[in-house]
Amino acid sequence: MPHPTLSDVTSCLSDYDPNALPVAQAQAIIRDFVTPIRSVEKVALRSALGRVLAQDIVSAIDVPAHDNSAMDGYAMRGADLDGAQPTTLNIIATAYAGAGVETKVAAGECVRIMTGAPMPAGCDTVVPQEFTQAATSTNVTIPPGVVKTGDNRRLRGEDLAAGKPALLQGRILRPADIGLMASLGIAEVPVQRRLRVTFFSTGDELRSIGEPLDPGCVYDSNRYTLYGMLTRLGVDIIDMGVVRDDPALLEQAFRSACENADAIITSGGVSVGEADYTKQIMATLGDVTFWKIGMRPGRPMAFGKIASNGRSAYLFGLPGNPVAVMVTFYFFARDALLRMMGADNTPLPLLQAVSEGPIRKKPGRTEYQRGILSTDASGRRQVRITGSQGSGILRSMSEANCMVVLQHEQGSVKAGDLVDVLMFEGLV
């Protein structure tokens, strides 16, 4: 199937207006336009942490490989239990983890057993040691009613059954998954190759760390927040620095970015009336659209695909304001990059919390305010907005532990109303 153009994608939308685009529509266009890379490599089990699983992992063995005890105690036949009277059994052997016993257990007999030891033949139940009475080295007494037949026994294959998928392709591998594959004896894991993402900042007023701060200039912070967010996402990054507002330098930067990466993220230069060349050059190099999104912060954004010398890359031209960069990254670029990585992509999980104060909001745009989520004395989640919400005030992000997401149609919030909240913790 040929790759769709942006106009193929947007022509399906009856009410598409690039100058007043709702967040949900921008997200849908990006999702339809971006396709996953398909390139698999094998890595050692430990190196698979945080990578995207490229093929289903099917268990070749039963885990556990045999029925075994879940407790330290006595393995016995459930049929020997007396519902009303204590039961006394002869201890005929001891079973340790990693070493089963050969003997078959007959009626009136039991085996002293340790956690993880294979269940001896004939046994179906384990009585935990702490429930027994009068244990000697030769016999043990079990009071009535402390266990039922089948208790404290782990069944063969109850964790993973042979032939069943243990993990599905597209999963971003977490510590438990690495352990699970270890339990199957898997040493190497097929993962998607890492996505290569390059980024640079545009603007004559930007200075890099180490340079003197000339009058009217600011230090470039966007490359550092982008570095942080991209690193957490697990992509390979190429930092191209600050590119001046010079047509030849910008064109050179965009061309080299295309040739070296799967995706390009720039910040700055996409606002209306901006006296620079960024937008012009983006447009000449490919299929790029410029949006004014119904959101705050983060209204202007460029999106598309550009090409140079036969190599192409997706382009996210994020706005320059430091908070807007983060918000547009989390709500547009993150999703697209995960999709390119071939990762399972569930929508960002929103919690609900009580707003501690009123929040002014106009219907018809989505607002992302920086908040501090806590619990009140009764354990209820509550959220308050961090001070000033200007899109240039990065401190508001740094102080916050969440974003309050005020949805498109929503109007002003009263103190005590429930609002949607996106936690930063756990968010890459």
Which of 322, 333, 361, 413 contacts ligand AMP by CB under 6 A? 322
Residue 100 binds: one of ligand AMP, Mg ion, none (C-beta under 5 to 8 A by kind): none
Q: Is 268 in the site for ligand AMP (CB under 6 A)?
A: yes
Q: What angle do CA 118, 122, 125 make, to 5 degrees?
A: 65
Report how many residues bind ligand AMP under the rule CB under 6 A. 18
What distances in angstroms separate CA 215 from CA 207, 274, 321, one per listed residue? 11, 20, 19
**243 DSSP β-pair partners:** 202
Q: Is 298 in the site for ligand AMP (CB under 6 A)?
A: no
Q: Is 317 in the site for ligand AMP (CB under 6 A)?
A: no
> Of all helices (H) and strands (E), which one includes residue 253?
helix 247-260
Name the DSSP letter for residue 45.
G
Which of 55, 103, 221, 345 contacts ligand AMP by CB under 6 A? 221
From start to end of 259-415, where are the E strands?
263-267, 286-296, 300-308, 311-318, 351-355, 366-375, 381-385, 402-406
Q: Is 268 in the site for Mg ion (CB under 5 A)?
A: yes
Count CB atoms within 10 A of the CB of residue 354. Answer: 15
Which of 12, 218, 248, 415 contacts ligand AMP by CB under 6 A? 218
Q: Is 116 helix (H, G, I), strand (E, B) or coil?
A: coil
Which of 53, 206, 302, 343 contacts ligand AMP by CB under 6 A? 206
Question: Distance between CA atoms of 97 and 91, rounded to whole angstroms?
Answer: 17
Stretches 57-65, 130-138, 247-255, 263-271: which one binds ligand AMP (CB under 6 A)?
Answer: 263-271
Give least dist CB 19 to ligand AMP, A. 17
Question: Distance between CA atoms of 382 and 219, rounded to whole angstroms?
Answer: 35
**384 DSSP β-pair partners:** 372
Residue nearest to ligand AMP (CB): 320
Burial label for 274, CB within 10 Å (0-12, 13-18, 19+), is middle
Q: Is 269 in the site for ligand AMP (CB under 6 A)?
A: yes
Q: Is 274 in the site for ligand AMP (CB under 6 A)?
A: yes
Which of 100, 120, 157, 203 contacts Mg ion by CB under 5 A? 203
Give least dist CB 268 to ligand AMP, A. 3
Nearer to Mg ion, 170 or 203 (CB): 203
Q: Is 322 in the site for Mg ion (CB under 5 A)?
A: no
The residue ranges that bind ligand AMP (CB under 6 A) are 201, 203, 205-206, 218, 220-222, 267-269, 271, 274, 319-322, 392
